[in-house]
A and B are shown apart, each in its own frame.
Chain A
Amino acid sequence: MNATDTADLNTMTAASVQATETVDDAERKIVTFLLGKQTFGIDMSALIEIREWEDPTPLPSVPAYIKGVTNLRGHVVPVVGLAERLGWEPSVLHARSCILVVNIEGKHAGFLVDEVADIVSVADSAIQPAPEVEVTETSVIRGLVEIGQRSKESADQKDQTMVSLLDLDKLSPTRNLDLAA
């Protein structure tokens, strides 16, 4: 995360270009991360903290994507494998694997992701609604946004990446239960 200061330069310019296009447009900060080959984003305001991966305590009789519970400063917080939750192959754990702890309507949950990428500002108007093409669960993607990605070879190179903004409410581990109730 300490790389974000410099990394922001590019993304900020990209964002500011968009901002000048529509003047009175609200901006929001999003945290982007990698899962498999895709870049996802969540609203920064929902993020509580980013932790290193640590094996959670497994729970019996829960769906496979709930990896267990972990101790977050005295609170028992469920950890969700985001890849499994989206119906993908489980993430392979590696050094940069981490848990995004988020607040979803007052309940805390951790999501296992492959790598946290960046924090960027995007204009609301730049967010396009998700096309209804996904077969599994369209609803978990709230929208798509193009951001300029920091390139590893050259800082000047502009490389547009598509970020899928996740709808956290839909990903809440208690959601299915709420619907069933």
Chain B
Amino acid sequence: MSDDLDDIQAIFFEECNEGLAVAEEGLSTMADGDTSADVIAGVFRAVHSIKGGAGAFGHERLQSFSHIFENLLDEVRAGRIEPTAHICKNMLLAFDVLSDHVQAAQGHAEVPDDAAMLATLEALLVEGAGDTPAAETTAEASTPAVEGEADEFGFMPVVVDIEDLDGESDPFMDLGDGDAEESTAAAGWSIRFAPSRDAMANGSEPLLVLRELERMGGEVVAVETASLPPLRELDPEGAYFAWSITMPASVTRSDIEEAFDFVAPDSVVDIVEGETMPSHDSEPAERPGAEPEAEDQPVSAAPSPSVAAAESEPSALPVKAVPAASPAEAKALEAPQNIRVDVSKLDMLLNLVGELVIRNSILADRLSSADQQRVELPELARLTREIQDNVMALRAQPIRQAFSRVPRMLRELCSATNKDVALEVSGEATEVDKSVIEKIGEPLTHMIRNAVDHGIESSEERVAKGKPAQGNLKLSAEQRGARIFLRVADDGRGIDRERVLAKAVEKGIVAADATLSDEEIDNLICAPGFSTAETISSISGRGVGMDVVRSNVEALGGRIEITSAPGKGTTFTMILPLTLAILDGMVVRLCGQRYVLPLSNVVETVQPEPGQMRPVANSSEVIDMRGTYVPVKRLSELFQLPPADREDEDSVVIIVETDAGNVGLMVDTIEDRREVVIKSLDQNLYPIRGLGGATILGDGSIALILDIEALVASANSPNKFVLKGMAA
């Protein structure tokens, strides 16, 4: 049982996180000035569901905070509080506290101190109510809810008191009769729908029918609560209400009947054409709220007490306040259906498909081409490839997930550094493999911290320089071929190359007399242990930031580019592979072994002519490439393999692109070009510098995948391949 509850709770937290993302996006949109009803409703719904779940699982602090937050949002949604910039800003701050609460409820963090934020929200609520007298009655109507809020049982605040349920009076249910009448007048069909008592036990959910009708343009004009028993006799799973619904004349009878296809057998459904309501339905305007039969409740104006008692949300409550189905919710019903899948299952699938690809190449290797045709191997290969692509697509996620935490981080950075920075995000729909998304979070954080702390100047400094007072940070993602380009661009002061160089000399990273190009100097900020910050702030300046960025990006098989214009800004570009599981590679042979070079590194290949290779001092060589001398490394020497017994002219030099410029790698022969499935070495061993992993080739043998960057870097360093800690 508790396991089940844990499972449900895990789903709740997942939904919380999705809800938070939606809320944040909506709030940011509002802060940017778009305060349309859809946006506000979206935020409201997100916060509302968090509150609902929090109550059900007994997260009281989360629930009480989200409740107040929701109240404010509700007022804004109803138009009683103007969504001014001030309100939006405070709502964003409240959102931050809400995220902290969610974290705390998950046990990931301490419960935040929300007293100040609560006070602010309460103040805004009071202010809002005071400003618009028209809203006062409604604000009061929800007061009991606010008081009942801190209920020790964690029960949801509900705008219903027990007397209502006892059927004596429904003071709140006569709001907005006028609306109901108006829409009745405009309707072409009048429908009365009274689901049977055990409709829900039969699995027929009246809410779905109502939503379907609403989607077709229908409107609930009255709810009969007459059959609602006193609370102690109430069966929480029973259906007690009946609804009167009006439909526009444009809807056909068969469409309406179709909506009722799946209602429980003994439900009452009366469909009457014309403007008059069926006789057994009471006239709402004549006896407002007094008559037990005549309880109408305009769904759009106030929380309906129990339309959704049977809402499938895990709730311990028989009765619970839920906002009525809004048009947007009805729209959501039409949205594509999704299922949740454990990522490990996807990983397993990906592994299996990888195996399938390998088996396929084994078959291709072993069968003659006539036999391949005979058994339709090419067809099988095509299918396999398609499956592979589709599985990869399953793992692809919009990069938005990685971007989503940036706005909050930026807000916190801005308040910590007293800077004013606007964020511009583009390309957040770009899809990349999940593993990439998981791993770019940290580099992204460092790059943004760096941009705000070092790049963008304070407002005064900016104004003095004739720039707009507000700094600008652009975050963008785009796909080019099999690579993702992720950019963080600021319009700050740019890299102070003199200072960077001086600092690098001071820290012994470069020699004092070294002459470096601008580009080389810019790249120094990624050198280990480098930091120019005068004081070490909590944000950056420990000299680890950009070093981490660089190593993380390299670990992902990507690289980082820095461009900077003094006074104008700096742009960091992370260039990452789309996936970490499959690599387009060139298979080469060397001393009887096969190796795979990532094709993305390969510039060109050349078979050296006699005299094209020239020895230079201390046993290094260069190759003359159309007048440019490119250093050449013999792979056999890098790997300490027995020297190849072949002439240079029989070998192949592969020119590869690296951070340190182009380098030629000498191998014996080139065998093939193919996509390989990357198997990491650290699954059973540990990562080896210079190797990006291994792959299994068509004949079942293992080929090592070269990590060109690391390989060349280690070849250039004096202590090549020193593996730390290997004592034996």
B622 at interface, CB cutoff 8 A: no
A51 at interface, CB cutoff 8 A: no
A36 at interface, CB cutoff 8 A: no
Residue from A60, A74, A85, A179 in contact with B696 in the complex, judged by beta carbons closer than 8 Å: A74
CB-contacts of B676-709 with A (<8 A):
679-681, 683-686, 688-691, 693-694, 696, 700-704
B355 at interface, CB cutoff 8 A: yes
Q: Interface-forming stretch among A1-9, A17-25, A151-159, A170-178?
A: A170-178
B116 at interface, CB cutoff 8 A: no
B31 at interface, CB cutoff 8 A: no
Q: Which residues of B contact A58 (CB under 8 A)?
A: 593, 641
B692 to chain A, nearest CB (A): 12
Residue from B683, B689, B728 in contact with A65 in the complex, judged by beta carbons closer than 8 Å: B728
B262 at interface, CB cutoff 8 A: no
A63 at interface, CB cutoff 8 A: yes
Q: Which residues of B contact A87 (CB under 8 A)?
A: 728
Q: How far is the CA of A113 from the CA of B360 in the complex (A)?
A: 33
Q: How far is the CA of A71 from the CA of B641 in the complex (A)?
A: 21
1/0 per residue, CB under 8 A from A, across B447-481: the answer is 00000000000000000000000000000000000
Chain A, interface residues (CB within 8 Å), range:
20 to 34
Q: Which residues of B contact A76 (CB under 8 A)?
A: 679-681, 683-685, 693-694, 696, 702
Q: Which residue on A lies nearest to B355, using beta carbons? A: A74
Verify A62–B688 contact, CB threshold 8 A. yes
Verify A69–B721 contact, CB threshold 8 A. no
Verify A85–B684 contact, CB threshold 8 A. no
Chain B, interface residues (CB within 8 Å), range:
35 or more
Q: Which residue on A lies nearest to B354, using beta carbons? A: A74
Verify A176–B725 contact, CB threshold 8 A. yes
Verify A109–B704 contact, CB threshold 8 A. no
With A61-B721, A74-B351 in contact, do A177 and B686 touch (Cβ < 8 Å)? yes
How many contacting A-B pairs (Cβ < 8 A)?
94
Q: Which residues of B contact A180 (CB under 8 A)?
A: 724-726
Residue from B680, B702, B726 in contact with A70 in the complex, judged by beta carbons closer than 8 Å: B702
Q: How far is the CA of A71 from the CA of B721 in the complex (A)?
A: 24
Q: Which residues of A contact B679 (CB under 8 A)?
A: 74-76
Which of A58, A61, A176 has its CB near the most chain B CB atoms (within 10 A)? A61
Q: Which residues of A contact B683 (CB under 8 A)?
A: 75-76, 107
A83 to chain B, nearest CB (A): 13
A41 at interface, CB cutoff 8 A: no
The DSSP consensus for interface residues of chain B is: loop
Q: Which residue on A lies nearest to B685, using beta carbons? A: A78
B616 at interface, CB cutoff 8 A: no
Verify A69–B685 contact, CB threshold 8 A. yes
Residue from B354, B684, B688, B724 in contact with A109 in the complex, judged by beta carbons closer than 8 Å: B684
Residue from A61, A62, A65, A69 in contact with B694 in the complex, judged by beta carbons closer than 8 Å: A69
Q: Which residues of B contact A65 (CB under 8 A)?
A: 728
Verify B358–A74 contact, CB threshold 8 A. yes
Q: How far is the CA of A62 from the CA of B724 in the complex (A)?
A: 11
A181 at interface, CB cutoff 8 A: yes
1/0 per residue, CB under 8 A from B, across A50-62: the answer is 0000001111111
Verify B721–A60 contact, CB threshold 8 A. yes
Verify B728–A78 contact, CB threshold 8 A. no
Residue from B355, B639, B693 in contact with A60 in the complex, judged by beta carbons closer than 8 Å: B639
Q: Which residues of A contact B639 (CB under 8 A)?
A: 60-61
A77 at interface, CB cutoff 8 A: yes
Residue from A60, A63, A77, A177 in contact with B691 in the complex, judged by beta carbons closer than 8 Å: A60
Q: Which residues of A contact B641 (CB under 8 A)?
A: 58, 60
- Supplied contacts A61-B640, A181-B725, 20 more A-B pairs, CB within 8 Å: A57-B701, A58-B593, A60-B640, A60-B641, A61-B639, A61-B689, A61-B723, A62-B688, A62-B723, A63-B728, A69-B685, A74-B354, A74-B679, A76-B681, A76-B683, A76-B685, A76-B696, A107-B684, A176-B726, A180-B726
* A-B pairs with beta carbons under 8 Å apart, 28 shown: A57-B702, A58-B593, A60-B640, A60-B641, A60-B704, A61-B639, A61-B688, A61-B690, A61-B720, A69-B702, A71-B701, A74-B679, A75-B684, A76-B680, A76-B683, A76-B684, A78-B685, A107-B683, A107-B684, A109-B684, A174-B686, A176-B725, A176-B726, A177-B686, A177-B723, A179-B725, A180-B724, A181-B725
